[in-house]
């Protein structure tokens, strides 16, 4: 158990500045570095180690609405492992972190260090003392906004990460073979959470993890999974082309989050930016074919436009909060995708069965 900050330690104040000129004052508990990005919020009550390492947050300054953060520290990981079990990638992915109250006491049987120490180790700025309720209300009313964390004496420009191909920054650079089994699955890594790969490997498949723009034409494989990732799906033209090739070869395809949007674009549908996105572990969705309701983990800022789905493609899941699309299927059943995360981490595993359903299609 770690005690509170020493009274002799000087508190460093910094500011969050939004593009509309709104300023929030906070106190630093991460790296002392000014940073700019897109300000978003997550309403989950737990799971900050998994959330902060999710590559889908690349380029974003994350606001956690749960008021007390850091109380269970950061878990210990096997640093030499090719796939982490408690983190979703090998580093913190957010550009900055904003919270209401930081717990200087942290205790958990698996805690290896404090959240503050982990953030500093990864060179990530973070502020506590932020009025996260007021900030979240503004983002819900105005939509996600550009913002910057500035320290005294420093001044930086605003930065819009959605204008870049963020997937290129978080994807692997060389193919990686994982596991063994009779079924060979190619995974297009657009910033893939490690739990997605664990979910597939736990089902005894051979997994070939490839970069976002890797050519698949000369590969022999049984099924294709397209992972989650950050940013605007329309920047990933090479990935969309590879998905189309797989469809033309009648190879089963399963997309997750960004992969869902990329499959939709490959099919000929359109995507659009949501006002403030879905980022939490309690998003209810309904499966239209069965009427089954699932509570899901989500992290995305874009969505598929149902009205643009071409013939032979149908909505599969719908979000029960705002009726946005949460899944699509081809009438053949061989190509499908979901906007939410069936692997969860963090969050409920209601949708984990979708991996089994996909592999049944691959084997059929």
Q: Which of 106, 194, 300, 341 is catalytic?
A: 341
Q: What is the pLDDT of residues 184-238, one digit of tens each?
A: 999 999 999 999 999 999 999 999 999 999 999 989 999 999 999 999 999 999 9
Residue finishing a domain among 101, 130, 163: 163
6 within domain boundaries: no
Q: What is the pLDDT of residues 78-125, one digit of tens each?
A: 766 789 999 999 999 999 999 999 999 999 999 999 999 999 999 999
Structure tokens at 331: 């009438």
d(CA 286, CA 288): 6
Residue 3 pLDDT > 80, yes or no?
no
Whether 125 contacts 96, CB under 8 Å: yes
Same domain, 117 and 231: no
Counting every residue, how long is the chain? 364
236 catalytic? Reply is no
3 within domain boundaries: no
β-partners of residue 64 are: 42
Same domain, 143 and 155: yes
pTM (two decimals): 0.95
Whether 193 contacts 227, CB under 8 Å: yes
330 catalytic? Reply is no
d(CA 263, CA 224): 11
Same domain, 287 and 314: yes
Q: Which of 106, 257, 326, 330 is catalytic?
A: 257
Q: Mutual orientation of helices 258-267 and 237-248 as an angle, nearest 10°?
A: 60
111 within domain boundaries: yes
Same domain, 39 and 135: yes
Output the pLDDT for position 80.
61
Same domain, 120 and 84: yes
Same domain, 203 and 352: yes
Q: What is the pLDDT of residues 161-196, one digit of tens each?
A: 999 999 999 999 999 999 999 999 999 999 999 999
Please name which of 102, 7, 107, 119 lies closest in space to residue 52, comparing C-alpha atoms.
119
Output the pLDDT for position 79.
66
261: three-class secondary structure by DSSP = helix
Q: Which of 50, 88, 326, 343 is catalytic?
A: 343
257 catalytic? Reply is yes
| Mean pLDDT of the region 335-358 | 97
Same domain, 204 and 337: yes
Residue 353 pLDDT > 90, yes or no?
yes
For residue 153, give its domain range: 13-163
Same domain, 154 and 220: no
Q: Characterize the bridge pairing of strands 313-319 and 271-287.
A: antiparallel
120 within domain boundaries: yes
Same domain, 136 and 204: no
Output the pLDDT for position 78.
79
Residue finishing a domain among 107, 142, 163: 163
Output the pLDDT for position 7.
43
Within 10 A of 89 (CB to CB), how many other CB atoms are there? 21
Same domain, 157 and 262: no
Residue finishing a domain among 163, 193, 225: 163
């Amino acid at each position: 158990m770690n005690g509170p900050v020493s009274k002799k330690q000087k508190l460093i104040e910094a500011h969050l500045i939004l593009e509309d000129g709104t300023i929030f004052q906070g106190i630093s508990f991460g790296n002392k570095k000014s940073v700019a990005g897109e300000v978003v919020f997550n309403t989950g009550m737990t799971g900050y180690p998994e959330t902060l390492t999710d590559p889908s947050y690349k380029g974003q300054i994350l606001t956690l609405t749960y008021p007390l953060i850091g109380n269970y520290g950061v878990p210990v990981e096997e640093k030499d492992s090719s796939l982490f079990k408690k983190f979703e990638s090998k580093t913190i992915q957010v550009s900055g972190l904003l919270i209401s109250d930081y717990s200087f006491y942290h205790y958990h049987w698996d805690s290896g260090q404090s959240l503050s120490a982990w953030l500093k180790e990864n060179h990530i700025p973070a502020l506590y003392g932020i009025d996260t309720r007021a900030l979240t209300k503004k983002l819900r009313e105005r939509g996600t906004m550009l913002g910057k964390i500035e320290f005294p004496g420093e001044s930086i420009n605003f930065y819009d990460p959605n204008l870049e191909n963020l997937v290129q920054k978080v994807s692997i650079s060389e193919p990686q073979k994982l596991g063994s089994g009779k079924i060979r699955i190619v995974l297009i890594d657009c910033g893939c959470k490690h739990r997605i790969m664990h979910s597939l490997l736990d089902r005894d498949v051979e997994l070939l993890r490839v970069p976002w723009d890797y050519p698949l034409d000369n590969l022999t494989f049984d099924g294709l999974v397209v992972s989650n990732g950050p940013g605007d799906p329309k920047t990933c033209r090479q990935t969309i082309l590879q998905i189309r090739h797989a469809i033309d070869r009648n190879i089963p395809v399963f997309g997750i989050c960004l992969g869902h949007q990329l499959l939709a674009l490959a099919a000929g549908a359109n995507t659009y930016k949501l006002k403030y996105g879905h980022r939490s572990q309690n998003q209810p969705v309904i499966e239209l074919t069965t009427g089954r309701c699932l509570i899901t983990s989500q992290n995305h800022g874009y969505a598929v436009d149902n009205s643009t789905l071409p013939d032979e493609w149908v909505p599969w899941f719908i979000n029960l909060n705002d009726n946005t699309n949460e899944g699509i299927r081809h009438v053949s059943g061989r190509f499908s995708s979901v906007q939410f995360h069936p692997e969860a981490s963090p969050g409920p595993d209601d949708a984990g069965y979708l991996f089994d359903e996909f592999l049944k299609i691959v084997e059929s």
